[in-house]
Each structure stands twice: as structure tokens, then as C-alpha cells.
Structure 1
């Protein structure tokens, strides 16, 4: 476990002030305070008072140093100093935005008062944030910060498919629009066989969600065909699946909308990282305890609208909807 280095106190700064006045060497000051010499050097440099009009007043003063230090630390407490900023951030979190998306969008829109995503997390897990249970608004709703785990897949697999290893590089690099990733989201068994297809375009991260009555492959693939057919052909070139049996009717895609099907390796969901990430976001609204009666088309469309209207770091903090619409317009202009 690493050592803990607390900030210098006012009492320590008073001692530094007195000993510097007596011209005591920095190493000796550090030794007396039980601090590293670098800490004292850094303190003298950062909190040195300088007055251009009255240079004879330049020097290190304990009270001034304490005030300068507290002012710098207040930068990380913007959400307390500016309550209206905290309210705006809280509203965005409630709308499903992550701290990183909020901070990135602030930079993109050039807000006069901005915060980093780390500042938001620090506030959420600070004493003030915990008192207000601010962590409940974070994407993971965790009481403590911890690394994310991963989901294990235990399924029967299909074979005789186009392996991801043969997929063109332009798709893997997201340099071409119109390539999607697909997965199923399941719910508790006592709620029946109803599930949801999650579909994400790789370049824009634009998400589409559709309800299925069961896991039979042909109806699921037909639903995909029906959902994507209104789009231009150049915006639905391929779909990447895992090897679950619910996608065994994949050959109908080519005949239905002319889209190729690619399959990741067994037990390798990370090869479809885009849809896996989207599923994590969707789980905020579609928990495993969700009842099928709640999965109306109107409700699913409202969830998609929220996801697609949320800025993404990988898109330069533009939203998936903004990027998706731009790509569709480019296709339209090319066809004219």
C-alpha cells in the first residue's frame, strides 16, 4: 500500500515562515517537519508572495501561503462554490450522461465554468456528495469507486459463419459508415421469453433497440431486416454478431437487405465492444427485473433517443444522432 501524504497545515506553514526568516536550510526544515525536502521546495515555490509594485514585500508568509493553497484547492470544489453548476450536472446525470460526457460537452460548448469528469467523481464520493447520495446519479450507482468487471457468456454456439478475422480492415478501423454490431439483452426467466435486440452503428455509435417475443432466430433476423430496410443501402452494409444460436438465421440478411454478417470468436464479447458498451448504458433503463409490459415501442424509442442525444468522448463530444444524421446526408449528396 502506498504512503499517504497529507497537505501542509497552517501550523506547519507558520514554522516554515519562522525558520525561513531565521535562514534555516530547507533540508533541515524538512527534517524537523518530517517531510521530504521536495515538499518544502515546492511549497516555497507555489506559495511565494510576489508584489511588482512593492518588491521589498516579496517573501513567504504563512497566512498568505495558506490562503493561496485553499484557493487552488477550491478549484476542485466548483460544484460547491457554484451550486447552479451542481444542479446542471445533476440534471445531466439523471438524463443518463456520464461524468466524462458532461465534462467533454462543456468543453465543446465552451462553458465559462467547466469541470473535469474527475471533479464530478470526486464530488460524488466526497463527504458532501455522500451526504446527498450523489453517487446514485452516476451510471453504475456504486457507493464506492471500483474497476468494472466483465460479463461471462455461457451459450451454445453456431458455426459455419464468416469469422471476424476475415472482416476488412476498414470496418475494424471504423473508417467506413454503415457497419453495425448486434446483441440480445435478456431478462429474468419469470418474466417470460421476451428480450430486446440492441443494434449499434460502429462509426457513429447510433443505437436502435427492438423488442422480441422470444429467442427464435428467424423472427429476430426478420425484425433486423424490417428495422434497417428504410435506411439507404450504404448505411447498412454489415452486422457483427456473437455465435449465439439466436443469430443462426443470419443468411437471410443478405437476401433481405444486402448486408453481410460477421461473427466474433466464441467467448469473446470484447470483439463487439461497441454493442457491449451500449448494453451497459441500456441496463440503466432496462434492468434484468424489467417486466415485458414495460417494453412498449414508445418506451424503447425514448430510451434510444436519450442514448443518441448523449455526447460521446469518442465522437469529440458530438452526439451519435448528430454524427449519424451527418453521415446520412453525405450518402444522400453522393447519390444526387
Structure 2
């Protein structure tokens, strides 16, 4: 197992200086310290002491090297040195923004100061950030940050054969009934993991909303399968998803229903614009600050009934419920 890299501490720097002065070969010093020789050469280069007035004092000294390293690391702690910038960052973290969103917004905001998302992560996991509980507002909400070398790398979860580029043209043209789009509606992090799955039929714009207790893919897919199982097979031919981790259990959906899954291109949720548009409409009733733990499927059904009973210009001012019912009758099914 590969261990995480750590910086040299004061004791190691003192040993390095003493053994180097004793003319011990660098390879042997590296073995004694359990470090790579390249790390020690880099340490000496970065923390080599130079005195312009007394050049005879030039050299690698343990205490001086530790001070130089501490000073260098302190320059990266921008959020400690800048209270105004720190206030902006912590406020936005508590509002549910990710470090990447905060850093990106600060590049175009008139507020003074910029900061990278990595600096925000480091501050959140620093002694000051942990004392403020900032890790609770990060995307993963972990108390301890995993070292980069230990962060998981996932292989391909979505086969290219199921890419939206391979989806039949009749689906893209909305000329065939029974093709759905699915997405999750999320809420502020302080409310925990509950969320809502939105299902929208592409031809009729008929919408269904389903409550989820968390974002685990298998339960999400089971809820989708349960909602579509009451329809005839002609009315549930395919579902288009984005490439979020909550949809990685697509094979389980295929096991439960004979439904073809399609996936948007990476970072292209706009390719399932029907459900994205519907998400915007349902936000009128379920804003991001709403408490999802208080929502029931009965209440969500009442919201969808209102959406499905609203005339739509794209449907010739017919309602989604009317179009869906007529199409369903054509397939020999019925609407509850």
C-alpha cells in the first residue's frame, strides 16, 4: 500500500543537517530517514540558508530550514491572513456552495480577493476550519480529508453504446411516445440526503416526482422502476439520464423493467432539457431552502397534478395530462 507523502519535521531537518555536515552520503541519510534521496535534495534546495552579509554562514541548518518552510506554508494560508475574504468564503460554504463554485465566482465578483478551491479545502480542514465545523458544508462532509493518492478512481460507468449520440433520432424529434428523462432535485446540505427524482415524458411533458431518502443509485433506480411499472411497455421505452453517480445502477433498472437507458455526454445536462425545464417549474413549489424531510409522495403528486394540468404553448395550449392520456389510450393503457 502506498503511503501519503508528509513534509519533513524539525527533528528530521536537524538530523539531515547534522549528517550532511558529517559528510554521510545522501543515499545513506535517505535510508536512515526513510525518505527518497530526491526528496532530501529538494528539501536542501528549497530551504538552503543564505546570508548576504556573512556568506560564511550559508548552508543547510535544521532550525532555519524549519522556519523557512513554515513561512512558505503560511503564505498559502490566504484565508487566515484576510478576514474579509474568509468571511465571504465561510458564508457561501454555509449557503451550500462548493469550494469550486466559490473560487469561480470570486474570479468575476467585484469583491476584493481571489482564492483557489484547493485553498478553501485546506482551510476547511485546518485547525481553524475544523473548529468552525466547515467540513459539514463541503460536498462530501467528511471530517478528515482523504489524501489525493487514496481518492478513488472510477472506470467507465456508462457504456458508450448507451451515449445519447446513439439514441434513435425519433426520440430526439419527439415523434415517438414513451421516452422519459430523469434527474434529481436537490436541497440545501443542512437538510441531509433526501432528494426528489423527476421523471418527464418527452412528447407530452407529463411529470412525476418521487421522494428519495438519499442519493444511492440502486434505491433511486428502484423508485423509478416502481413508478414506470404501472404503464404499458409502449409508454416506458427509454429513460435519458445525465452521468451522475446516482444513475450508475442503470443495469438494475434494466433488470426490473425492459427499459433502454441513455446517457447525456459528460457535463452536458442541457441535453435532457425537458426535465431541466420541469425542474425549474417545480422550484416554484419546492425552493432549494425547502425541507425535503417533510415532503411526502402524496404532496409531490399534488404538485405534479398542478403542473400536468397547466396548458403548455409547446403542446398547442393543451395540458400535459391531456396529451399523456390521449397517447396512453392509443397504446391501450389507462391513467390512474
Matched, 1:194 2:177: no
Q: Which residue of 1 aligns with 2:108?
A: none
Counterpart position of 1:227: 227
Note if contact 2:183-2:241 (Cα within 8 Å) is conserved in structure 1.
yes
Task: Give the secondary structure class of the aligned counterpart of 2:321.
Answer: helix
Task: Answer yes or no: is the 8 Å Cα contact 2:174–2:202 preserved in 1.
Answer: yes
- Secondary structure in 1 aligned to 2:250? coil
Q: C-alpha displacement at 1:192, in angstroms?
A: 0.8
Q: Which residue in 1 is equivalent to 2:289? A: 289
Alignment of 1:218-297 (within 5 A): 218-297=218-297
Aligned residues of 2:184 and 2:196 also touching (Cα < 8 A): yes
Separation (CA, whole Å) in 1 of partners of 2:254 and 2:193: 27
Alignment of 1:101-112 (within 5 A): none
Q: Name the CA distance, whole Å, in 2 between partners of 1:211 and 1:167.
A: 28
Mapped to 1, the partners of 2:317 and 2:259 lie a distance apart of 29
Matched, 1:208 2:224: no
Give the deviation of 1:159 after TM superposition.
Answer: 3.2
Q: Which secondary structure does the structure 1 equivalent of 2:180 belong to? A: strand
Query: Is the 8 Å Cα contact of residues 182 and 200 (structure 2) preserved in structure 1?
Result: yes
On the 8 A contact 1:193/1:214 being kept in 2, the answer is yes
Partners of 2:219 and 2:278 lie apart in 1 by: 23
> Unpaired segments of 5 or more residues in structure 1?
1-153
Structure 2 residue 171 is matched with structure 1 residue 159: no
CA distance in 1 between partners of 2:241 and 2:293 (Å) = 27
Question: C-alpha separation between the residues in 1 aligned to 2:212 and 2:304?
Answer: 16
Q: Give the superposition deviation at 1:256.
A: 1.2
Which has the bigger relative contact order, CA under 8 A and spacing at least 6? 1
Partners in 2 of 1:159 and 1:228 — Cα distance?
22
Conserved in 2, the CA contact under 8 Å of 1:242 and 1:266? yes
Offset, 1:227:
0.8
Answer yes or no: is the 8 Å Cα contact 1:158–1:244 preserved in 2: no
Please name the residue that 2:63 is paired with.
none
Q: Deviations over 1:52-71 (max 9, x none)?
A: xxxxxxxxxxxxxxxxxxxx
**2:221–2:253: 8 Å Cα contact kept in structure 1?**
yes
Is the alpha carbon distance of 1:158 and 1:186 closer, same or farther for their aligned partners in structure 2, counting shifts above 3 Å? farther
- What SS class does the counterpart of residue 332 from structure 2 fall into? helix
8 Å contact from structure 2 (residues 312, 320) kept in 1: yes
RMSD: 1.8
Shift of 1:270: 1.3
Distance 1:284 1:158, change over 3 A: farther
Shift of the alpha carbon at 1:293?
A: 3.5
Indicate conservation of the 8 Å contact 2:194/2:293, yes or no.
no
Does residue 217 (structure 1) correspond to residue 217 (structure 2)? The answer is: yes
Equivalence map 1:1-336=2 (5 Å):
158-161=157-160, 162-332=162-332
Structure 2 gaps of 5+ residues are 1-138, 141-153
Please say if residues 158 and 248 of structure 1, whose CA atoms lie closer than 8 Å, have aligned partners that are also in contact.
yes
Q: Measure, in 2, the Cα distance between the counterparts of 1:247 and 1:293.
A: 22
CA distance in 2, matches of 1:194, 1:273: 23
Tell me the secondary structure at the aligned position of residue 246 of structure 1: helix
What is the alpha-carbon distance in structure 2 between the residues aligned to residue 293 and residue 221 of structure 1?
A: 20
Structure 1 residues 286-336: Cα deviation after superposition (integer angstroms, max 9, x where no partner)? 111111243111210110001000011110000000000001110118xxx
1:247 Cα offset (Å): 0.2
- Could you say what secondary structure the match of 2:331 adopts? helix
CA 1:158–1:287 in 2, change beyond 3 Å: closer, same or farther? farther
